[in-house]
Amino acid sequence: MDSKRWDDLTSKNGMLGYLDMNLRGAGQVFFQNNPWTGLIILAAIFWGARAAGDLNVAFGAVVGLFVSTTTAILLNVDRASLRQGLFGLNGVLVGVAVPIFLHPHPMMWAYLLLGAAVSTVATLAVANVVKSWGIPGSTAPFVFTTWVLLLGAYSFTHLPIATMGPPALPAAAGAGGMTLSLHTVLSSLGKNISQVYLIENFWTGVLFIVAIAINSIRSAGFAVIGSVIGLGAALVFGAGAGATASGLYGFSAVLTAMAVGLAFEKLSLRAVLYAVLATVFTVVVQAAFNTALSPLGIPPLTFPYVLTMWLFLLPGIDLMPHPKASPVVSSH
């Protein structure tokens, strides 16, 4: 079905339009405004969750997506941003993160609903703050909301923690890098991409690339390049073997490469070097947040990407804003 006919259908049929904006939300995490991209991404999340034996993560993704988008509708937000899925992208990530880090408990689902609804308020709030600087809020609302939920869980008896922490003072890294083979390298490259959605699964990563590529080959290219640079930098600096192999040093680099790379209309040598510098530095920022959040026992989530993306887009020199990389979310 061509894009024009689908647009007609979704604008006429309310239910289909609602489904469409939700699916686009899942795609916007990778800067893709395309419902089919979102659909494949959700399928890849189900695949990864099933492989890990915890379907709650996939259900959480769907619930988070629908709750955050529905909250946006109730808040009468800007219609154009809503239809592009810009209010679902943070909710779907909250929905994935909560079941990963907290025990499945009825209260966890109430917490997830609360977090998904708040992620929409946070999306509006962050957009209002950053708009004067010409940078996108991106996944910052997801990060702030989820950090609050996870830190709060340490103080709440009814929200037991599953997989994060325990809080510990940082210690200098010991020796021992990742064992290098074609298998470990390929596996890590795929997981660098799947970990954008907090999932450690090579095939989920491959499906994500397919989902991006059906909308934009260029975007998929930047994602793969980001994964390669991220892995390379982690190996050169000597990041921890386990974390590198699991994709934990590369997922932020994937997003930075996409955001900064897509921000340029034309890729001059200077632009390429700028994007490479940003991507390499993302790995250092990732390492820095691994250290800094260790005493609190919470994960950096995508904040290393958000911070580096802001750092490299704020100067605005010769960076023609690319519409897909700079979603502007505004309220009426």
Residues 82-111 that bind its own copies (CB under 8 A): 107, 110-111
Residue 168 within binding range of its own copies, rule CB under 8 A: yes
* Span from 4-12, 58-66, 191-199, 275-283 in contact with its own copies (CB under 8 A): 275-283
What tokens appear for 277 in the block?
């510098």
Segment interacting with its own copies, rule: CB under 8 A, options 4-12, 25-33, 167-175, 181-189: 167-175
Residue 205: CB minimum distance to its own copies, A: 23
**Closest CB to its own copies among 3 and 179?**
179
The answer to whether 290 contacts its own copies (rule: CB under 8 A) is yes
Using rule CB under 8 A, residue 15 touches its own copies = no
Cβ 313 to its own copies, closest distance in Å?
8
3-state SS, the chain, equals: CCHHHHHHHHHHCHHHHHHHHHHHHHHHCCCCCCHHHHHHHHHHHHHHHHHCCCCHHHHHHHHHHHHHHHHHHHCCECHHHHHCCCCHHHHHHHHHHHHHHECCCHHHHHHHHHHHHHHHHHHHHHHHHHHHHCCCCCCHHHHHHHHHHHHHHCCCCCCCECCCCCCCCCCCCCCCCCCCCHHHHHHHHHHHHHHHHCCCCHHHHHHHHHHHHCCCHHHHHHHHHHHHHHHHHHHHHCCCHHHHHCCCCCHHHHHHHHHHHHHCCCCCHHHHHHHHHHHHHHHHHHHHHHHHHHHHCCCCCCHHHHHHHHHHHCCCCCCCCCCCCCCCCCEC
Segment near its own copies (CB under 8 A), from 26-34, 41-49, 217-225, 316-324?
A: 316-324
Residue 256 as a binder of its own copies (CB under 8 A): the answer is no
Measured CA distances, 247 to 193, 283, 304 (Å): 7, 11, 14
By CB under 8 A, tell whether 327 contacts its own copies. no
Count of residues touching its own copies (by CB under 8 A): 78
Rule CB under 8 A: say whether 267 interacts with its own copies.
no
- Binding test (CB under 8 A) with its own copies, winner from 21, 100, 196, 280: 280
Q: How far is the CB of 40 from its own copies (least distance, A)?
A: 32
Binding of its own copies by 181 (CB under 8 A) = no
Note whether 297 binds its own copies by CB under 8 A.
yes
**300 CB-side CA count, 13 A:** 27
Find, among 91, 240, 224, the residue nearest to 170 by Cα.
Answer: 240
Q: Could you tell me the smallest distance in angstroms from the CB atom of residue 279 to its own copies?
A: 12
Residue 271 burial by Cβ neighbours in a 10 Å radius (0-12, 13-18, 19+): middle
How many Å apart are CA 195 and CA 149, to the nearest integer?
20
Q: Is 55 in the site for its own copies (CB under 8 A)?
A: no
Q: How many residues does the chain have?
A: 332
* Residue 58 vs 126, nearer CB to its own copies: 126
Instruction: Determine if 312 is a binding residue for its own copies (CB under 8 A).
Output: yes
Minimum distance, C-beta of residue 280 to its own copies, in the bound complex (Å): 7
Instruction: Give the nearest distance from C-beta 137 to its own copies in angstroms.
Output: 11
Interacting residue with its own copies among 197, 281, 303, 305 (CB under 8 A) = 281
Binders in 101-160 for its own copies, by CB under 8 A: 107, 110-111, 114, 117-118, 121-122, 124-125, 128-129, 132-133, 147-160
Q: By CB under 8 A, is residue 169 in contact with its own copies? A: yes
**Is 270 a residue that touches its own copies (CB under 8 A)?**
yes
Q: Which of 1, 12, 14, 174 binds its own copies (CB under 8 A)?
A: 174
